[in-house]
Structure 1
Amino acid sequence: MASASGPYNYSYIFKYIIIGDMGVGKSCLLHQFTEKKFMADCPHTIGVEFGTRIIEVCGQKIKLQIWDTAGQERFRAVTRSYYRGAAGALMVYDMTRRSTYNHLSSWLTDARNLTNPNTVIFLIGNKCDLDAQRDVTYDEAKAFADENGLTFLETSAKTGDGVEEAFLETAKRIFQNIQDGSELDLRRLSPQVVFGLGHDSRVRESRPSLPPALPPPRTVTINKFFICD
């Protein structure tokens, strides 16, 4: 296994996708997580946007490669190609707009059909800072998550509440899958979990047309790592 020290500054790459209707705050969540800032005038994503951040899970440095997909129906055919190879999927709705919650089944169908069975899918109810305008109760969304085997969390891209937890908990669950021997079909699919070479810890690129070149997949030897609570 590549070391996270010396010439390398991370041990794995985990590919994430962020999916959900237009205007639910997907780009703002990405920006809050990677830049620790809220974009008050965040433009709607056209196609896809991309960001990265290096995190640490119990001593193992992991590069999160995060693809923010457009929510408009006219871009669905394009953005579906980015599901392939995702180790984690953050499925986002706006808790102040029930219509975005009602469309979750469609997004979940895409995620289940276009990703690996071991892909970790995390349900996020965004804009919890607008609780007075809530249109979807916590209990209702939690029940949907439980029925579909999803982890659920409410977040605020504006205040940052819950944002770190959503991205980091997804990484821990992916890492737990590796520990348990669920290797996400590394040799069969595009890289979902890849041993990485050194790169800058945080990068923001605007609307790339194609995924950046990744190090070629290597044979993975699964070691037993402790996962922090």
Structure 2
Amino acid sequence: MKYLAVYLLHHTALQEYPSFPGQPADKTMNFSPPVSRDRIISTFPKCYNPQACLQMKDDWNTKAKMACQDRAARQQGYDRLKMSKAVVVGDLNVGKTCLINRFCKDVFERDYKATIGVDFEIERFEMSGLPFSLQIWDTAGQEKFKCIASAYYRGAQVIITVFDMADIKSLEHTQQWLSDALRENEPDSCFVFLVGTKKDLLSAEECQRTESDAIKIAAEMNAEFWAVSSKTGENIQEFFFRVAALAFEDSILKDLETGTSTAQIGDGSILDDKALEKAEEKPKKKSCC
């Protein structure tokens, strides 16, 4: 039943997106609501701490910006399908689910049930005038669910490793979590973030000391570090905006590099116009009855 539940979640996510390019929208399958005002990103989000930043810039990549302006002018329908996948990994009880729920639902619950296997949320944005969706996969921190969760690491554009700032041991485990996630993906294909949660539990002195240790670990992981609080909401929106912006820009640049406009859903792809034309040209097999 657990595997069936995970399949149904994934299948539902695929159904939420419109029809293929060049085809009329299937109203029975397109349940996408409009982008809310607080999900519109017009300027490139800044990093949390310059010492822990891997992308030191104040604006979108020039090529990506020009491509966005061009697509916005042409109103290409398939841009509605553009989506990136982010997986959230880390020890049990470090606050992965609280982190996601605070951003996606703007709620904080002190008591919660441990994630069984995997779960996910889909957040829709408007990036530099274009629609974009981010799949955020919440994975279980329990050892017995690792074999299930690891299968959903594949096809990630972003890996978010989470630790509890009040539990230094969870920081020590983040490198192993990252190693497990990277094993399921192509080398150098993912943005990596190290996120410290429960910042509100630390004094200013403790926070500074923990951040210093985390920045060192982040450098070893080639990750960008953020400190957040799901309870107060501190840095939550800023962090996810940063994740979405980097993933979106990378997706645009990859399209320009390959010369395609294929929309990615995890590690799968939706056919572009040329692929559909070729498929339509193939002769249909005659039925035997």
* Structure-1-length-normalised TM-score: 0.75
Tell me which amino acid in the other structure corresponds to 2:155: G
Hey, what does 1:96 align to over in structure 2?
Answer: 166
Map of 2:248 onto structure 1: 175
* Count of aligned pairs: 199
5+ residue gaps in structure 1? 188-192, 197-210, 221-229
Contact kept? 1:177, 1:183, Cα under 8 Å: no
Residues 17-26 or 175-184, more deviating: 175-184
Deviation at 1:25, TM superposition (A): 0.5
Cα deviation, residue 34, structure 1: 0.7
2:203 partner SS: helix
- Contact 2:175–2:221 at 8 Å: present in 1 too? no
Secondary structure of 1:137 counterpart: helix
**Greater fraction helix:** 2
Pairing 1:56-205 to 2, within 5 Å after superposition: 56-116=126-186, 117-132=188-203, 134=206, 137-181=210-254, 194=263
CA contact (8 A) 1:153 1:166 kept: yes
The answer as to whether partners of 1:118 and 1:184 remain within 8 angstroms in 2 is: no
CA distance 1:20–1:195, change in 2 (3 Å):
closer
Change in Cα spacing, 1:24 to 1:183, as seen in structure 2 (3 Å) is farther
SS in structure 1 at match of 2:149: helix
Letter in 1 for 2:251: I
Cα distance, 1:9 vs. partner?
A: 8.8
AA aligned to 1:97 is D
Q: Does 1:52 align with 2:122?
A: yes
Q: Which residue of 1 aligns with 2:99?
A: 29
Larger strand fraction of residues: 1
RMSD: 3.3
Q: Which has the higher contact order (CA 8 A, sep 6+)?
A: 1
- Letter matched to residue 95 of structure 2: G
User: What is aligned with 1:223?
Assistant: none
Deviation at 1:102, TM superposition (A): 1.1
Alpha-carbon separation, structure 1, partners of 2:211 and 2:163: 12
Q: Distance in 1 between matches of 2:227 and 2:152?
A: 25
Give aligned-pair identity as a percent: 32
Deviation at 1:121, TM superposition (A): 1.3
- For the residue of structure 1 that corresponds to 2:175, the secondary structure is helix
